[in-house]
Amino acid sequence: MPSTSIDNAFTARKTTGAASDPTYAGALSFMRRKFSKDVKGADAVVWGIPFDAAVSNRPGARFGPQAIRRASAIFDNDPQYPFNRDLFEAMSVIDYGDCLLDYGNHQKTPATIEREAAKILKSGAFLLSLGGDHFVTWPLLKAHAAVHGPLALVHFDAHQDTWLDDNKRIDHGSFVARAVRDGIIDPDRSIQIGIRTHAPDDFGIRIIYGYEVEDMRPADIAYAIAERTGGKKTYLTFDIDCLDPAFAPGTGTPVSGGPTPAKILSVLRQLGHVDIVGADVVEVAPAYDHADITAIAGATVAMHFLGLLAEQKARSAALAD
């Protein structure tokens, strides 16, 4: 079907409804959402955090938000699989653009991210953040906990990220340890999925290791997540290296032996009754990618978060009627 408009990210008159840009052209906001700094009335806000100065291996995740937005153009104007709906028919979503960070003064980075996230969350919108390396989840967790109190954490990753530090380091491998130590997350209500490395401490967080994921059905993994979080306000962070490098080569610290996107997306699809109040997708590093494999996976994970939110909104509207 020929496109009826182009550059919806700039020309859209409202923040609901599908775009009709050609897949191969047009301004590359996330899923063609309108670029705006006005969050009033938005159900969800997509925000890029182009930061990768905390990596312990290969840099490049600062280009992750660009890559994920570019890959999201593949989601055309048909109802989105597997939700079988126009996600934006009744859900207002904007692309807030990127966080402005001083590349020469990284010590200011966490406060800058936390402050801007708090500003967005004050509107009541759901915040979907695109990293960036996994350090960015630390200030995001702080901003969300300031609104909701201590959170359950659902953490898809190949790494535990529970290395202790002095609370001053800029390090993508310690945000979980910090969050437990500072009471930002409740370890008894938190779970990690896909772990394929060892750290000195698990802090009592439940771990479903990579080989266990391989042996479990998606429905069983989703059940374990729902049971562990127990109805608590939940933050979901998705490190793209949770997936096997065969399906996500474009990342800084790949670890073999991980699950397929099909399996993990099936898990995400079944989390509709988990009280997810915020989410991120991190560690997409396009310089190591091929044919946008990793970026497409990251964009699809992010789309699933919005799909769950659209279904939740539809359920609420049906109950109100």
Q: How many CA atoms lie within 13 A of 157 on its CB side?
A: 30
Phi, psi angle pair for 134, to nearest 5° = -75, -10
Residue 165 annotated as binding?
Answer: no
Residue 275 annotated as binding?
Answer: no
* Angle, helix 64-72 to helix 293-320, in steps of 10 degrees: 70
Residue 273 annotated as binding?
Answer: no
Rounded to whole angstroms, the Cα distance separating 304 from 269 reads 7
Rounded to whole angstroms, the Cα distance separating 264 from 258 reads 10
Residue 198 annotated as binding?
Answer: no
Residue 201 annotated as binding?
Answer: no
H or E segment to which residue 321 belongs: none
Rounded to whole angstroms, the Cα distance separating 97 from 37 reads 8
Rounded to whole angstroms, the Cα distance separating 210 from 191 reads 13
- Whether the CB-CB separation of 195 and 158 falls below 8 Å is answered with yes
Residue 157 annotated as binding?
Answer: yes
Binding residues for Mn(2+): 134, 157, 159, 161, 239, 241
Binding residues: 134, 157, 159, 161, 239, 241
